[in-house]
Homo-oligomer: A and B are copies of this chain.
Amino acid sequence: MSRKIAVLTSGGDAPGMNAAIRSVTRSAIAKGWTVMGVNQGYAGLVAGDYRELAARDVGGLLSKGGTFLGSARCPEFQKEDVREKALRNLNRSGIGALVVIGGNGSQTGGAALNDMGFPTLGVASTIDNDLVGSEITIGVDTALNIALEAIDRLRVTAASHQRGFLIEVMGRKCGYLALMAGIAGGAELVLVPEIDFEPDQIAEAIHDAYRRGKAHAMVVVAEGAKHNAEQLVRYFHDKNTGFELRATILGHVQRGGTPTAYDRLLASRLGAGAVEALDKGISGVVVGMNQGVVSTTPYSEVTGRTKGISPELYQLAHVLSR
């Protein structure tokens, strides 16, 4: 049986999205299917902007960050009539299923399509790792290593100054990146959206680190923490305590790296897993990595929820920074 599927990337771009598109495409072609690449996420779905992807079209993508299909925002996709237009386009083109590579918002869009009867499934991809349905999502490992590299560099220079160094990493609602970067980088303090704190605790933690003989004092803060880097720098400056806090704000640098081996392998496996699921007649799920294997989780358990950080790892961060 010949089959025609579409694939799109949506939401914030994540390193490894290209590897996922490649894997979906070549896995499907290996089954004799046809794959259509949708440009600019849901916007391209609405506009009917897609083209066939051959095996060669997805060559040379493994090492490239971002997404070659693009990933524009499309708030109007929340309207049912807009989604109906997208469905008409898909049906007119003879496309029988859709693979959505993205994070929380993206999977919500896919769930809505699937609810309207169009077989859709998701591939878990966001650097925030806040998506329920996959213990780890495509892009996290690369973003984490970029943050870690910055922390390592700060520690080199911090060792010769009695100051606090602050590094702000991504994570609006979820402190996963901050926490993991903090453990891997040996930060003295990690500030996450999930846990409240006051600025004075930072000064105390830094002084305490120096008292214990540490050669540096590093604080990792998630952008969505109660106070972000800019606010903290201003706080200490305005309070005029003589306490110096130097900030590094990584911003989108974390999205743009060459994908790590982990992200390429994860993307390759999840992309192939999405095709396998469709081949078995499964849709309405997010394909993710759980307990070391590729598995599927129903949209109903995924959308509208946010994965939090592990209390056990938060505790580990504290113990290991002593």
A contact set with B: CB distance below 8 Å? 13, 22-23, 26-27, 29-30, 55-56, 59-60, 62-67, 70-72, 135, 141, 144-146, 148, 150, 152-160, 165, 180-181, 183-186, 212-215, 230, 246-258, 260-262, 264-265, 268-269, 272, 290-293, 313, 316, 319-320, 322
Docked CA distance A252–B156 (Å)? 10
A150-B253, A181-B261, A214-B59 known; A322 vs B26 contact (CB < 8 Å): yes
Q: Which residues of B contact A319 (CB under 8 A)?
A: 26-27, 30, 272
Q: Is A153's CB under 8 angstroms from B268's CB? A: no
Q: Which residues of B contact A56 (CB under 8 A)?
A: 212-214
Chain B: minimal CB distance from A267 (Å): 9
Q: Is A156's CB under 8 angstroms from B66's CB? A: yes
- Given A66-B160, A72-B160, A153-B257, 17 other A-B residues pairs in contact with their CB atoms under 8 A: A13-B157, A26-B322, A55-B322, A56-B212, A60-B155, A60-B186, A65-B153, A144-B261, A145-B260, A148-B261, A154-B251, A156-B257, A165-B252, A246-B251, A246-B252, A249-B251, A291-B293
Closest to A163 in B: B252
Chain B: minimal CB distance from A72 (Å): 8
A153-B146, A322-B29 known; A180 vs B252 contact (CB < 8 Å): no
Q: Which residues of B contact A183 (CB under 8 A)?
A: 264-265, 268
Docked CA distance A202–B106 (Å)? 32
A262-B262, A320-B22 known; A251 vs B251 contact (CB < 8 Å): no
Q: Is B153's CB under 8 angstroms from A255's CB? A: yes
Q: Which residues of B contact A255 (CB under 8 A)?
A: 153, 156-157
A248-B253, A252-B157 known; A320 vs B66 contact (CB < 8 Å): no
Chain B: minimal CB distance from A256 (Å): 3
Q: Report copies per complex.
A: 4
Docked CA distance A90–B150 (Å)? 39
Docked CA distance A160–B145 (Å)? 22
A180-B265, A262-B141, A290-B292 known; A253 vs B154 contact (CB < 8 Å): yes
Please pick, from B13, B261, B293, the residue contacting A180 in the complex, using a CB distance under 8 A.
Answer: B261
Please pick, from B59, B154, B268, the residue contacting A256 in the complex, using a CB distance under 8 A.
Answer: B154
Chain B: minimal CB distance from A134 (Å): 11
Q: Which residues of B contact A62 (CB under 8 A)?
A: 184-186
Docked CA distance A249–B159 (Å)? 20
Q: Is B248's CB under 8 angstroms from A157's CB? A: no
Docked CA distance A55–B95 (Å)? 38
